Structure 1
Amino acid sequence: MNFEHLLKQVAFIHEIDKVKYILRKTKLFNSERNENDAEHSWHLAIMAIILAEYANEPVDILKVVKMLLIHDVVEIDAGDIFLYDTAVNHTNTEAELKATQRIFGLLPDEQAADLIAVWEEFESGKTMEAKFARAMDRLEPLLQNISNRGGTWKEFGVSYEKVLEKKSVIQKGSDQLWEFARELINESVKNGILISAAK
Protein backbone atom coordinates (compact mmCIF):
# COMPACT_ATOMS: atom_id res chain seq x y z
CA MET A 1 0.00 0.00 0.00
CA ASN A 2 1.19 3.51 -0.86
CA PHE A 3 0.80 5.21 2.53
CA GLU A 4 1.53 8.71 1.17
CA HIS A 5 -1.16 8.27 -1.49
CA LEU A 6 -3.71 7.32 1.19
CA LEU A 7 -2.69 10.20 3.46
CA LYS A 8 -3.39 12.69 0.65
CA GLN A 9 -6.84 11.16 0.12
CA VAL A 10 -7.61 11.32 3.84
CA ALA A 11 -6.44 14.97 3.95
CA PHE A 12 -8.96 15.76 1.20
CA ILE A 13 -11.71 13.86 3.05
CA HIS A 14 -10.98 15.93 6.16
CA GLU A 15 -10.99 19.19 4.20
CA ILE A 16 -14.33 18.67 2.48
CA ASP A 17 -16.02 18.22 5.85
CA LYS A 18 -16.06 22.05 5.83
CA VAL A 19 -18.77 21.94 3.14
CA LYS A 20 -21.20 21.00 5.92
CA TYR A 21 -20.69 24.42 7.52
CA ILE A 22 -21.37 26.53 4.43
CA LEU A 23 -24.91 27.86 4.75
CA ARG A 24 -26.97 28.70 1.71
CA LYS A 25 -29.66 31.36 1.56
CA THR A 26 -32.33 28.77 0.75
CA LYS A 27 -34.06 26.94 3.53
CA LEU A 28 -34.96 23.27 3.79
CA PHE A 29 -38.39 22.18 2.56
CA ASN A 30 -41.13 23.55 4.85
CA SER A 31 -38.53 24.83 7.29
CA GLU A 32 -36.91 27.90 8.80
CA ARG A 33 -33.46 26.26 8.81
CA ASN A 34 -30.96 27.21 6.14
CA GLU A 35 -29.65 24.39 4.00
CA ASN A 36 -25.90 23.75 3.99
CA ASP A 37 -23.85 22.96 0.89
CA ALA A 38 -23.40 19.29 1.79
CA GLU A 39 -27.17 18.78 2.12
CA HIS A 40 -27.71 20.64 -1.14
CA SER A 41 -25.17 18.52 -3.05
CA TRP A 42 -26.55 15.26 -1.66
CA HIS A 43 -30.10 16.26 -2.55
CA LEU A 44 -29.14 17.21 -6.12
CA ALA A 45 -27.32 13.90 -6.63
CA ILE A 46 -30.42 11.94 -5.56
CA MET A 47 -32.64 14.16 -7.72
CA ALA A 48 -30.43 13.46 -10.75
CA ILE A 49 -30.72 9.70 -10.24
CA ILE A 50 -34.52 9.92 -9.86
CA LEU A 51 -35.12 12.41 -12.70
CA ALA A 52 -32.55 11.22 -15.28
CA GLU A 53 -35.32 9.97 -17.57
CA TYR A 54 -36.28 13.61 -18.24
CA ALA A 55 -32.87 14.68 -19.58
CA ASN A 56 -33.03 16.01 -23.14
CA GLU A 57 -30.52 13.31 -24.14
CA PRO A 58 -29.25 10.19 -22.36
CA VAL A 59 -26.65 11.08 -19.72
CA ASP A 60 -23.81 9.30 -17.94
CA ILE A 61 -25.52 9.43 -14.54
CA LEU A 62 -22.35 8.58 -12.61
CA LYS A 63 -20.65 11.64 -14.10
CA VAL A 64 -23.70 13.81 -13.31
CA VAL A 65 -23.66 12.59 -9.70
CA LYS A 66 -19.90 13.29 -9.45
CA MET A 67 -20.49 16.81 -10.73
CA LEU A 68 -23.25 17.45 -8.23
CA LEU A 69 -21.34 16.05 -5.27
CA ILE A 70 -18.26 18.20 -5.93
CA HIS A 71 -19.65 21.34 -7.63
CA ASP A 72 -19.81 23.40 -4.43
CA VAL A 73 -16.62 22.10 -2.75
CA VAL A 74 -14.86 25.26 -3.99
CA GLU A 75 -17.14 27.31 -1.74
CA ILE A 76 -14.96 26.22 1.20
CA ASP A 77 -12.60 28.96 -0.03
CA ALA A 78 -14.71 31.05 -2.40
CA GLY A 79 -17.90 31.20 -0.30
CA ASP A 80 -21.49 30.81 -1.45
CA ILE A 81 -22.80 33.58 -3.67
CA PHE A 82 -26.57 33.92 -3.74
CA LEU A 83 -28.01 33.30 -7.21
CA TYR A 84 -29.99 36.55 -7.06
CA ASP A 85 -27.22 38.70 -5.57
CA THR A 86 -27.25 42.12 -7.21
CA ALA A 87 -23.85 43.26 -5.91
CA VAL A 88 -21.69 40.20 -6.65
CA ASN A 89 -21.70 38.10 -9.82
CA HIS A 90 -22.86 34.55 -9.10
CA THR A 91 -20.02 33.26 -11.29
CA ASN A 92 -17.01 33.87 -9.06
CA THR A 93 -14.65 32.14 -11.50
CA GLU A 94 -11.24 33.47 -10.42
CA ALA A 95 -11.73 32.69 -6.72
CA GLU A 96 -13.31 29.35 -7.56
CA LEU A 97 -10.49 28.31 -9.90
CA LYS A 98 -7.96 29.12 -7.18
CA ALA A 99 -10.05 27.03 -4.76
CA THR A 100 -10.10 24.03 -7.12
CA GLN A 101 -6.31 24.03 -7.26
CA ARG A 102 -5.92 24.17 -3.49
CA ILE A 103 -8.71 21.80 -2.41
CA PHE A 104 -8.57 19.16 -5.14
CA GLY A 105 -4.79 19.62 -5.10
CA LEU A 106 -4.74 17.85 -1.73
CA LEU A 107 -5.46 14.61 -3.60
CA PRO A 108 -2.95 12.46 -5.49
CA ASP A 109 -2.28 14.07 -8.89
CA GLU A 110 -4.43 11.75 -11.01
CA GLN A 111 -7.50 12.08 -8.78
CA ALA A 112 -7.00 15.83 -8.48
CA ALA A 113 -6.87 16.21 -12.26
CA ASP A 114 -9.99 14.06 -12.70
CA LEU A 115 -12.09 16.04 -10.21
CA ILE A 116 -10.88 19.40 -11.50
CA ALA A 117 -11.85 18.31 -15.03
CA VAL A 118 -15.32 17.22 -13.81
CA TRP A 119 -15.76 20.53 -11.94
CA GLU A 120 -14.69 22.54 -15.02
CA GLU A 121 -17.08 20.54 -17.21
CA PHE A 122 -19.96 21.39 -14.84
CA GLU A 123 -19.01 25.06 -14.82
CA SER A 124 -18.75 25.30 -18.61
CA GLY A 125 -22.24 23.83 -18.99
CA LYS A 126 -21.59 22.52 -22.49
CA THR A 127 -21.96 18.73 -22.22
CA MET A 128 -25.32 17.05 -21.72
CA GLU A 129 -24.17 15.85 -18.29
CA ALA A 130 -23.29 19.40 -17.25
CA LYS A 131 -26.55 20.80 -18.61
CA PHE A 132 -28.58 18.22 -16.72
CA ALA A 133 -26.56 18.69 -13.53
CA ARG A 134 -27.07 22.46 -13.74
CA ALA A 135 -30.80 21.88 -14.27
CA MET A 136 -30.90 20.02 -10.94
CA ASP A 137 -28.97 22.86 -9.29
CA ARG A 138 -31.66 25.34 -10.37
CA LEU A 139 -34.67 23.10 -9.76
CA GLU A 140 -34.05 22.21 -6.10
CA PRO A 141 -34.12 25.82 -4.72
CA LEU A 142 -37.24 26.50 -6.80
CA LEU A 143 -39.03 23.62 -5.07
CA GLN A 144 -37.73 24.79 -1.69
CA ASN A 145 -38.95 28.36 -2.18
CA ILE A 146 -42.39 27.16 -3.20
CA SER A 147 -42.58 24.87 -0.15
CA ASN A 148 -41.70 27.89 2.01
CA ARG A 149 -44.37 30.19 0.51
CA GLY A 150 -41.85 32.28 -1.38
CA GLY A 151 -38.79 31.70 0.79
CA THR A 152 -35.79 33.65 -0.45
CA TRP A 153 -37.86 35.24 -3.23
CA LYS A 154 -39.91 37.10 -0.63
CA GLU A 155 -37.00 37.62 1.76
CA PHE A 156 -34.84 39.32 -0.88
CA GLY A 157 -37.55 40.84 -3.08
CA VAL A 158 -36.80 38.68 -6.12
CA SER A 159 -39.19 39.28 -9.02
CA TYR A 160 -41.02 36.79 -11.24
CA GLU A 161 -38.99 38.02 -14.22
CA LYS A 162 -35.66 37.42 -12.45
CA VAL A 163 -36.73 33.92 -11.32
CA LEU A 164 -37.79 33.07 -14.87
CA GLU A 165 -34.48 34.33 -16.26
CA LYS A 166 -32.29 32.47 -13.75
CA LYS A 167 -34.30 29.24 -13.84
CA SER A 168 -34.42 29.05 -17.66
CA VAL A 169 -31.08 27.17 -17.43
CA ILE A 170 -33.23 24.13 -16.58
CA GLN A 171 -34.41 23.95 -20.20
CA LYS A 172 -30.89 23.24 -21.48
CA GLY A 173 -30.90 20.02 -19.46
CA SER A 174 -34.56 19.08 -19.69
CA ASP A 175 -37.41 20.58 -21.72
CA GLN A 176 -39.90 18.56 -19.67
CA LEU A 177 -38.59 19.72 -16.31
CA TRP A 178 -38.48 23.30 -17.59
CA GLU A 179 -42.14 23.04 -18.62
CA PHE A 180 -42.90 21.76 -15.11
CA ALA A 181 -40.78 24.46 -13.44
CA ARG A 182 -42.30 27.26 -15.52
CA GLU A 183 -45.76 26.11 -14.55
CA LEU A 184 -44.75 26.16 -10.87
CA ILE A 185 -43.30 29.66 -11.28
CA ASN A 186 -46.49 30.93 -12.92
CA GLU A 187 -48.61 29.30 -10.21
CA SER A 188 -46.43 31.04 -7.62
CA VAL A 189 -47.48 34.40 -9.08
CA LYS A 190 -51.15 33.38 -9.02
CA ASN A 191 -50.72 32.26 -5.39
CA GLY A 192 -49.11 35.55 -4.40
CA ILE A 193 -45.75 34.10 -3.34
CA LEU A 194 -43.88 35.62 -6.29
CA ILE A 195 -44.44 39.16 -7.54
CA SER A 196 -43.99 40.44 -11.08
CA ALA A 197 -41.82 43.56 -11.45
CA ALA A 198 -44.24 44.69 -14.17
CA LYS A 199 -46.96 45.33 -11.55
Structure 2
Amino acid sequence: MSDERRILLAEKTPFPEGLEERLRAQLTFLVEVDKLKTVLRQSPLIAADRRENDAEHSWHLAMMVVILAEHSDRPIDVGHTVRLVLLHDLVEIYAGDTPLYDSAAGTDQQDREAVAADELFALLPTDQAQRMRALWDEFEERRTPEAAFAKAMDRLQPLLLNWMARGGTWRTPGVTADDVRARKAVIGDASSALWEAGQRFIDEGERRGWSRSATVAEGGE
Protein backbone atom coordinates (compact mmCIF):
# COMPACT_ATOMS: atom_id res chain seq x y z
CA MET A 1 0.00 0.00 0.00
CA SER A 2 1.17 3.56 -0.69
CA ASP A 3 1.62 6.19 2.01
CA GLU A 4 -1.75 7.65 1.06
CA ARG A 5 -4.47 6.47 3.43
CA ARG A 6 -6.92 3.99 1.94
CA ILE A 7 -10.50 5.21 1.56
CA LEU A 8 -12.81 2.75 3.27
CA LEU A 9 -16.19 1.84 1.82
CA ALA A 10 -17.92 2.88 5.04
CA GLU A 11 -16.70 6.43 4.49
CA LYS A 12 -18.79 6.73 1.33
CA THR A 13 -21.97 6.82 3.43
CA PRO A 14 -20.91 7.53 7.02
CA PHE A 15 -22.79 5.71 9.77
CA PRO A 16 -25.19 7.63 12.01
CA GLU A 17 -23.76 9.46 15.01
CA GLY A 18 -23.94 7.80 18.40
CA LEU A 19 -23.01 4.25 17.42
CA GLU A 20 -21.01 2.45 20.11
CA GLU A 21 -17.32 2.40 19.14
CA ARG A 22 -16.93 -1.39 19.07
CA LEU A 23 -20.02 -1.85 16.92
CA ARG A 24 -18.89 0.94 14.59
CA ALA A 25 -15.55 -0.84 14.07
CA GLN A 26 -17.26 -4.17 13.42
CA LEU A 27 -19.67 -2.65 10.90
CA THR A 28 -16.81 -0.81 9.19
CA PHE A 29 -15.03 -4.14 8.72
CA LEU A 30 -18.17 -5.89 7.46
CA VAL A 31 -18.78 -3.15 4.91
CA GLU A 32 -15.15 -3.22 3.79
CA VAL A 33 -15.14 -6.97 3.16
CA ASP A 34 -17.99 -6.49 0.69
CA LYS A 35 -15.08 -5.76 -1.66
CA LEU A 36 -14.40 -9.51 -1.71
CA LYS A 37 -17.31 -9.80 -4.15
CA THR A 38 -15.32 -7.74 -6.68
CA VAL A 39 -12.10 -9.80 -6.61
CA LEU A 40 -12.20 -12.04 -9.66
CA ARG A 41 -10.50 -15.41 -9.73
CA GLN A 42 -9.36 -17.35 -12.80
CA SER A 43 -11.74 -20.26 -12.28
CA PRO A 44 -14.93 -20.34 -14.39
CA LEU A 45 -18.33 -20.69 -12.82
CA ILE A 46 -20.31 -23.82 -13.59
CA ALA A 47 -23.73 -22.18 -13.77
CA ALA A 48 -22.83 -19.01 -15.69
CA ASP A 49 -20.45 -17.90 -18.42
CA ARG A 50 -18.11 -15.83 -16.27
CA ARG A 51 -15.32 -16.18 -13.73
CA GLU A 52 -16.10 -16.66 -10.07
CA ASN A 53 -15.26 -14.05 -7.46
CA ASP A 54 -13.58 -14.59 -4.12
CA ALA A 55 -16.79 -14.34 -2.11
CA GLU A 56 -18.41 -17.06 -4.21
CA HIS A 57 -15.27 -19.18 -3.86
CA SER A 58 -15.24 -18.80 -0.07
CA TRP A 59 -18.92 -19.72 0.22
CA HIS A 60 -18.37 -22.80 -1.93
CA LEU A 61 -15.46 -23.91 0.25
CA ALA A 62 -17.59 -23.56 3.38
CA MET A 63 -20.25 -25.76 1.82
CA MET A 64 -17.61 -28.30 0.80
CA VAL A 65 -16.29 -28.48 4.36
CA VAL A 66 -19.78 -29.22 5.67
CA ILE A 67 -20.45 -31.91 3.06
CA LEU A 68 -16.99 -33.52 2.75
CA ALA A 69 -15.67 -33.39 6.33
CA GLU A 70 -16.25 -37.12 6.72
CA HIS A 71 -13.44 -37.75 4.23
CA SER A 72 -10.77 -36.08 6.37
CA ASP A 73 -8.06 -38.52 7.40
CA ARG A 74 -8.06 -36.92 10.86
CA PRO A 75 -11.03 -35.75 12.96
CA ILE A 76 -11.76 -32.07 12.42
CA ASP A 77 -13.90 -29.40 14.04
CA VAL A 78 -16.24 -28.52 11.16
CA GLY A 79 -17.22 -25.12 12.53
CA HIS A 80 -13.62 -24.10 13.01
CA THR A 81 -12.73 -25.29 9.51
CA VAL A 82 -15.61 -23.29 8.06
CA ARG A 83 -14.26 -20.17 9.77
CA LEU A 84 -10.85 -20.81 8.19
CA VAL A 85 -12.19 -21.06 4.64
CA LEU A 86 -14.52 -18.09 5.02
CA LEU A 87 -11.72 -15.72 5.97
CA HIS A 88 -8.69 -17.18 4.15
CA ASP A 89 -9.07 -15.01 1.04
CA LEU A 90 -10.16 -11.77 2.72
CA VAL A 91 -6.62 -10.44 2.34
CA GLU A 92 -7.06 -10.50 -1.43
CA ILE A 93 -9.31 -7.45 -1.03
CA TYR A 94 -6.06 -5.48 -0.76
CA ALA A 95 -3.47 -7.95 -2.11
CA GLY A 96 -5.40 -9.16 -5.15
CA ASP A 97 -5.85 -12.72 -6.37
CA THR A 98 -2.71 -14.64 -7.31
CA PRO A 99 -3.42 -17.23 -10.03
CA LEU A 100 -2.28 -20.71 -9.00
CA TYR A 101 -0.29 -21.32 -12.17
CA ASP A 102 1.37 -17.88 -12.32
CA SER A 103 4.77 -18.51 -10.74
CA ALA A 104 5.98 -14.97 -11.30
CA ALA A 105 2.99 -13.43 -9.52
CA GLY A 106 3.50 -15.83 -6.63
CA THR A 107 7.02 -14.69 -5.78
CA ASP A 108 5.89 -11.91 -3.44
CA GLN A 109 2.44 -13.28 -2.63
CA GLN A 110 3.23 -14.12 0.99
CA ASP A 111 4.58 -10.65 1.73
CA ARG A 112 1.72 -8.86 -0.04
CA GLU A 113 -0.90 -10.88 1.77
CA ALA A 114 0.73 -10.48 5.19
CA VAL A 115 0.70 -6.69 4.77
CA ALA A 116 -2.92 -6.86 3.66
CA ALA A 117 -3.85 -8.97 6.69
CA ASP A 118 -2.28 -6.42 9.03
CA GLU A 119 -4.24 -3.60 7.42
CA LEU A 120 -7.61 -5.31 7.00
CA PHE A 121 -7.93 -7.03 10.38
CA ALA A 122 -6.84 -3.84 12.16
CA LEU A 123 -10.26 -2.40 11.30
CA LEU A 124 -11.77 -4.70 13.94
CA PRO A 125 -11.68 -4.26 17.72
CA THR A 126 -8.31 -5.47 19.00
CA ASP A 127 -9.53 -8.79 20.44
CA GLN A 128 -11.33 -9.76 17.23
CA ALA A 129 -8.47 -8.53 15.07
CA GLN A 130 -6.10 -10.83 16.94
CA ARG A 131 -8.44 -13.81 16.60
CA MET A 132 -8.98 -13.23 12.88
CA ARG A 133 -5.26 -12.86 12.26
CA ALA A 134 -4.60 -16.06 14.22
CA LEU A 135 -7.11 -17.93 12.08
CA TRP A 136 -5.57 -16.56 8.89
CA ASP A 137 -2.10 -17.57 10.06
CA GLU A 138 -3.40 -21.03 10.97
CA PHE A 139 -4.73 -21.51 7.44
CA GLU A 140 -1.46 -20.37 5.89
CA GLU A 141 0.71 -22.58 8.11
CA ARG A 142 -1.49 -25.72 7.69
CA ARG A 143 -0.26 -27.24 10.95
CA THR A 144 -3.67 -28.27 12.30
CA PRO A 145 -6.01 -30.91 10.86
CA GLU A 146 -8.58 -28.18 10.27
CA ALA A 147 -6.15 -25.98 8.34
CA ALA A 148 -4.94 -28.92 6.27
CA PHE A 149 -8.50 -29.81 5.32
CA ALA A 150 -9.34 -26.17 4.60
CA LYS A 151 -6.38 -25.98 2.23
CA ALA A 152 -7.47 -29.24 0.60
CA MET A 153 -10.88 -27.73 -0.11
CA ASP A 154 -9.18 -24.63 -1.52
CA ARG A 155 -7.44 -26.84 -4.09
CA LEU A 156 -10.29 -29.28 -4.71
CA GLN A 157 -12.94 -26.66 -5.49
CA PRO A 158 -11.21 -25.19 -8.58
CA LEU A 159 -10.48 -28.72 -9.75
CA LEU A 160 -14.22 -29.40 -9.84
CA LEU A 161 -14.90 -26.12 -11.64
CA ASN A 162 -12.22 -26.86 -14.24
CA TRP A 163 -13.58 -30.36 -14.79
CA MET A 164 -17.05 -28.99 -15.41
CA ALA A 165 -15.55 -26.40 -17.79
CA ARG A 166 -13.72 -29.17 -19.64
CA GLY A 167 -10.36 -27.72 -18.82
CA GLY A 168 -10.75 -24.16 -17.56
CA THR A 169 -7.45 -22.95 -16.13
CA TRP A 170 -5.88 -26.32 -16.95
CA ARG A 171 -5.62 -24.90 -20.46
CA THR A 172 -3.41 -22.01 -19.30
CA PRO A 173 -0.49 -21.70 -21.77
CA GLY A 174 2.54 -23.62 -20.54
CA VAL A 175 0.61 -25.58 -17.90
CA THR A 176 0.66 -29.37 -18.11
CA ALA A 177 -1.31 -32.10 -16.38
CA ASP A 178 1.77 -32.78 -14.26
CA ASP A 179 1.71 -29.15 -13.12
CA VAL A 180 -1.90 -29.61 -12.09
CA ARG A 181 -1.02 -32.75 -10.15
CA ALA A 182 1.85 -31.01 -8.37
CA ARG A 183 -0.30 -28.04 -7.34
CA LYS A 184 -3.19 -30.23 -6.20
CA ALA A 185 -1.17 -32.83 -4.29
CA VAL A 186 -1.71 -30.89 -1.06
CA ILE A 187 -5.22 -32.38 -1.03
CA GLY A 188 -3.59 -35.65 -0.02
CA ASP A 189 -2.17 -34.07 3.13
CA ALA A 190 -5.71 -33.97 4.52
CA SER A 191 -7.65 -36.68 2.72
CA SER A 192 -6.30 -39.70 0.90
CA ALA A 193 -9.80 -40.47 -0.44
CA LEU A 194 -10.33 -37.00 -1.90
CA TRP A 195 -6.86 -36.95 -3.43
CA GLU A 196 -7.49 -40.33 -5.03
CA ALA A 197 -10.69 -38.90 -6.51
CA GLY A 198 -8.89 -35.73 -7.54
CA GLN A 199 -6.28 -37.71 -9.43
CA ARG A 200 -9.02 -39.53 -11.31
CA PHE A 201 -10.40 -36.18 -12.49
CA ILE A 202 -6.95 -34.97 -13.53
CA ASP A 203 -6.03 -38.22 -15.27
CA GLU A 204 -9.30 -38.34 -17.18
CA GLY A 205 -9.03 -34.66 -18.07
CA GLU A 206 -5.59 -35.31 -19.52
CA ARG A 207 -6.87 -38.32 -21.44
CA ARG A 208 -9.65 -36.20 -22.96
CA GLY A 209 -7.23 -33.48 -23.97
CA TRP A 210 -8.51 -30.90 -21.48
CA SER A 211 -4.96 -30.44 -20.18
CA ARG A 212 -1.62 -30.85 -21.90
CA SER A 213 0.53 -33.93 -21.34
CA ALA A 214 4.15 -33.20 -20.48
CA THR A 215 5.33 -35.09 -23.58
CA VAL A 216 3.16 -32.91 -25.82
CA ALA A 217 4.39 -29.74 -24.16
CA GLU A 218 8.01 -30.79 -24.57
CA GLY A 219 7.36 -31.51 -28.23
CA GLY A 220 6.14 -27.95 -28.74
CA GLU A 221 2.65 -28.91 -29.88
Query: Normalised by the size of structure 2, how large is the TM-score?
Result: 0.87
The question of 1:190 aligning with 2:207 is answered: yes
SS in 1 for 2:214: coil
SS in 2 for 1:83: coil
SS in 2 for 1:169: helix
SS in 1 for 2:49: coil
Measured against aligned partners, the alpha-carbon deviations of 1:131-185 in whole angstroms (never above 9, x if no partner) come to 0000000001001011001011114442001000000000011110000000111
Match of 1:63 in 2: 80
Structure 1, unaligned runs of 5 or more: none
Match of 1:103 in 2: 120
Shift of 1:90: 6.5
Q: Percent identity?
A: 46
1:150-161 to structure 2, matched below 5 A, reads: 150-161=167-178
> Cα distance 1:49–1:90, how it changes in 2: closer, same or farther (>3 A)?
farther
Q: Distance in 2 between matches of 1:90 and 1:127?
A: 25
Large movers: runs of 4+ above 3 Å: none
Match of 1:33 in 2: 50
Q: Distance in 2 between matches of 1:70 and 1:99?
A: 13
One-letter code of the match for 1:176? A
1:67-146 to structure 2, matched below 5 A, reads: 67-89=84-106, 92-146=109-163
Instruction: Identify the structure with bigger relative contact order (alpha carbons < 8 Å, sequence gap 6+).
Output: 1
Match of 1:50 in 2: 67
What's the C-alpha RMSD, in Å, of the aligned pairs?
1.5
Q: How many residue pairs get matched?
A: 199
Measured against aligned partners, the alpha-carbon deviations of 1:106-154 in whole angstroms (never above 9, x if no partner) come to 0111111001000000000111101000000000100101100101111
Q: Distance in 2 between matches of 1:187 and 1:162?
A: 15
Q: Distance in 1 between matches of 2:68 and 2:58?
A: 15
1:81/1:90 contact within 8 Å kept: no
Structure 2, unaligned runs of 5 or more: 1-18, 217-221
SS in 2 for 1:107: coil
Q: Please tell me whether Structure 1 or Structure 2 has the larger radius of gyration of its CA atoms.
A: 2
Q: Distance in 2 between matches of 1:99 and 1:154?
A: 30
The question of 1:5 aligning with 2:22 is answered: yes
One-letter code of the match for 1:53? E
1:26/1:35 contact within 8 Å kept: yes
1:82/1:90 contact within 8 Å kept: no
Query: Normalised by the size of structure 1, how large is the TM-score?
Result: 0.96
